[in-house]
Amino acid sequence: MTEGGLPGSLLLGLTYVRILLIPVVMGLILAGPDRDGAYAAAAVTFAIAATTDFVDGHLARRWALTTTLGSFLDTTADKLLVSGALIALVEVDRASAWVAIIIIGRELVILGLRGVVAAEGTVFPPSIWGKLKTNVQFLAILLAILRYDEPLGPLLLDEWAMLAAAVITVFSAVEYLVRFSSALSEGSG
C-alpha cells in the first residue's frame, strides 16, 4: 500500500491512468488523417487524461496528501502527456514544430532546475504561471486535435491557443528561473 493508504493509492491510480492514456492519445492523433472519428476519439481520450490531472490535484489538496513519489509521477505524467500529444500533432501538421520545441524545451529546462533545487533540499512549489501554463497547454492541444477550420484573422483558433501556450510557457520558465536563480549560481553547491 502506498503512503496515505487508500486515498494515496487512488491518487497514484489517477496518475497511472494518465500515463497509460498517452500512447492511446498519440496513436489516435496519428490515425486521424486516415480514420474517421480518430480525432474525436483522441480528443475524448486526451480530455479524460487531462481531467485526471485536475481531479488528482483537487483530491491531493483536499486530503492534504502529497508524497515525493506522487509529486514526481504527477509532474512527469503531465509533461509526457503534453509532449507526446504535441509530437503527434506536429506529425499530422496540426501543431508547429517551433511551438512544440518551446514547450518541450521548457519542460526539460525546468526538470533540470527541479533536480538542482531538490539536491539543495529546497522545495519547488508550483507557481500560478506553472498552473496556468498546464491549463493553457491542455486547452491548446485539445483545440488542435479537434481543429475548427474557420480562421480567426490570419490563424485558426487552435493556432492562436498554441501561440498563447508558448508565450505563457516562456513566462513560466522565466519566473521559475528567476525565483530559483540562486540554485544555479556558482557559489551554491
What is the spatial distance between Cα 73 and Cα 41, in angstroms, rounded to a whole number?
25
β-bridge partners, 155: 152
pLDDT score for 187: 53
Indicate the domain borders of the chain. Answer: 5-180
**Cell, residue 16:** 497511472
Which of the listed CATH numbers 2.30.40.10, 3.50.40.10, 1.20.1250.20, 1.20.120.1760 matches domain 5-180?
1.20.120.1760
What is the spatial distance between Cα 139 and Cα 162, in angstroms, rounded to a whole number?
9
**Residue 40 pLDDT greater than 60, yes or no:** yes
**170 pLDDT tier (thresholds 50, 70, 90):** very high
pLDDT score for 2: 42
Q: What is the pLDDT of residues 144-167, one digit of tens each?
A: 999 999 999 999 999 999 999 999
Element (H, E) at 94: none
- Distance, C-alpha 8 to centroid of its chain: 21
pLDDT score for 7: 75
Q: What is the pLDDT of residues 89-113, one digit of tens each?
A: 999 999 999 999 999 999 999 999 9
**46 pLDDT tier (thresholds 50, 70, 90):** very high
| Strands of 54-148, DSSP E | none
Q: What is the largest CA-CA distance in the chain?
A: 58
CA dihedral defined by 116, 122, 123, 125, rounded to 10 degrees? -60
Taking alpha carbons only, the member of 18, 43, 50, 15 closest to residue 28 is 43
Interior/surface letters 131-147, b for 16+ CB within 10 angstroms, e for the rest: eebbebbbbbbbbbbbb
**Residue 169 pLDDT greater than 90, yes or no:** yes
pLDDT score for 4: 55
DSSP three-state, residue 152: strand
Q: Is the pTM of this model over 0.85?
A: yes
pLDDT score for 186: 57
**43 pLDDT tier (thresholds 50, 70, 90):** very high
Residues 6+ apart with CB under 8 A from 115: none
